[in-house]
Structure 1
Amino acid sequence: MCEGCVIEAYPDRESFCADSGAYVLNLKECCGCRELEMDSCSSSSSGVDAKLVDLLNEASIETNGNVKLEKLMSVQELLVRKEPNLLDNFLDEVMGFQNDRSQDIRRFVVGFIEEACKVDPELLPKVIKNVQILMMESGVAVQKRVIQAMTHLYKISLMWIARAKTVTEDMEAVWNEIIAIKTVILMLLDSDNDGD
């Protein structure tokens, strides 16, 4: 492994380091690998835009759920980790997958919302309704994923509001939605259905 590579931040993501010939974690923190240099040269906005459009188009027409999920995960990788400045541009396209028949795809959308808001809390007003809609659906796996995501979204929204000099209408609306989702979660905890 190259000297200076930091093993943290993306424990689920390995990248091949062209200089050392080894797989490293978090190549963004690497000390100057050729792959990192190639990434920074090739990550021009228009090239990434085109790749994102292609991936989203391919995912929307893909019938195999696993392949669709892989393409969407590639979209998430590009948007959240490599080009977060493009998140706002492609947010609606990714949110469109919340209506997919596959629970795995809908769970992915919840995870995407969580990761996107970690990077840019300003997205909360645009996505919190989507989280609420996904919470109301009957799929238990999706509801569980929303509950997991809400633990992070709650903290993110609280910090976002606390850091603001003045509380805006968007912030109030987000907070009200979060309280509504929290109420639904508490009702689910109190329900008679104990998992049987």
Structure 2
Amino acid sequence: MDKFVEPIEDTATVAERVSKAIKEAHEAANVDDKLKLLEDAADILINNDQSAHLLDSFCEEMLEFVDNPQFTIKCFVVSFIQRACLRDPEVTKKAITTLSALLSIDRQYPGASRIIRRVIIACTNIYPSIIQWAVRKKTDLEAGACWEAFSILKGRILQLIDNDNEGVRTVTLKFLETIVLAQSPGPVRDDAASGMDTVTGCATQDTGTGCASQDTLTGGAAQDTL
């Protein structure tokens, strides 16, 4: 008996599903509901869009949620950036400004240290693929400008190596380790940042919609001090 193969949705249908999820996320009053809808939209864009064209089309709409005051939503946006950049490094052109802004978030903001730590983890995970992309696109002026902006962000992250927050220091050291590995002679793997898992939440052990208070890293745990 032939195995049933579920038909692949056409681009218009997928786009409609994403648009509906984003619209409902804007309207949702409950944070958990908002996160669930955003996760649904992200999963469709990253896992169901074979061409990555929809990811490019809807990327800015997803990034707009960074203005939401809830730190869990900001964590989600960072998570989305990480996943999207690993799916298509071109997304970095649109996302680099958001990453830079979140790294500079007011330290008095509730959950600020978790957001900063999450930005560093995301940059650690995408760094190997971004550096390879920049090399491949060395004649692309936009890619060059993006890499320059990412290099500035890299420098700002490394300045946090003496941060008062132990968790921030830990992930900054891991970021430095990844830079060394990625820029060392020899083959560079996209998962060179294997000290940290690629995740969808605020911590490396994703809890689904929330932001866990602890990131599990190779060599120890990074506990937030809020």
TM over 0.5: yes
Q: Counterparts of 1:106 and 1:192 in 2: how far apart (Å)?
A: 22
Asked which structure has the greater CA Rg, the reply is 1
Equivalenced residue count is 161
1:177 alignment partner, one of 145, 149, 160: 149
Do the aligned residues in 2 keep the contact of 1:125 with 1:174 (CA within 8 Å)? yes
Instruction: Name 1:112's counterpart in structure 2.
Output: 80
Q: Counterparts of 2:59 and 2:92 in 1: how far apart (Å)?
A: 11
Q: Secondary structure at the match of 2:139?
A: coil
Do the aligned residues in 2 keep the contact of 1:95 with 1:130 (CA within 8 Å)? yes
Residue 113 of structure 1: how far off its partner (Å): 0.9
Do the aligned residues in 1 keep the contact of 2:113 with 2:165 (CA within 8 Å)? no
Question: 5+ unaligned residues in a row in structure 2: which ranges?
Answer: 107-111, 167-224
Residue 186 of structure 1: how far off its partner (Å): 1.8
Return the structure number with greater relative CO, CA threshold 8 A, min gap 6: 2
Instruction: Name 1:127's counterpart in structure 2.
Output: 95
Residue 39 of structure 1: how far off its partner (Å): 4.8
> Quick one: percent identity of the two aligned structures?
28
Do the aligned residues in 2 keep the contact of 1:154 with 1:178 (CA within 8 Å)? no
1:144 alignment partner, one of 117, 141, 146: 117
Residue 140 of structure 1: how far off its partner (Å): 1.3
Task: Provide TM-score, normalisation by structure 2.
Answer: 0.65
Q: Counterparts of 1:69 and 1:192 in 2: how far apart (Å)?
A: 30
Q: Secondary structure at the match of 1:38?
A: coil
Q: Which has the higher helix share?
A: 1
Give the aligned residue type for 1:81: N
1:88-136 deviation per Cα after TM superposition (whole angstroms, max 9, x unaligned): 1111110110111111111111111111111111221111111111111
Do the aligned residues in 2 keep the contact of 1:56 with 1:75 (CA within 8 Å)? yes
Give the aligned residue type for 2:67: N
Q: Which moved more, 1:52-61 or 1:154-163?
A: 154-163
Tell me, yes or no, if structure 1 residue 69 matches structure 2 residue 35. Answer: yes
Residue 163 of structure 1: how far off its partner (Å): 2.2
Q: Counterparts of 1:127 and 1:169 in 2: how far apart (Å)?
A: 17
Q: Counterparts of 1:173 and 1:85 in 2: how far apart (Å)?
A: 22
Tell me, yes or no, if structure 1 residue 45 matches structure 2 residue 11. Answer: yes
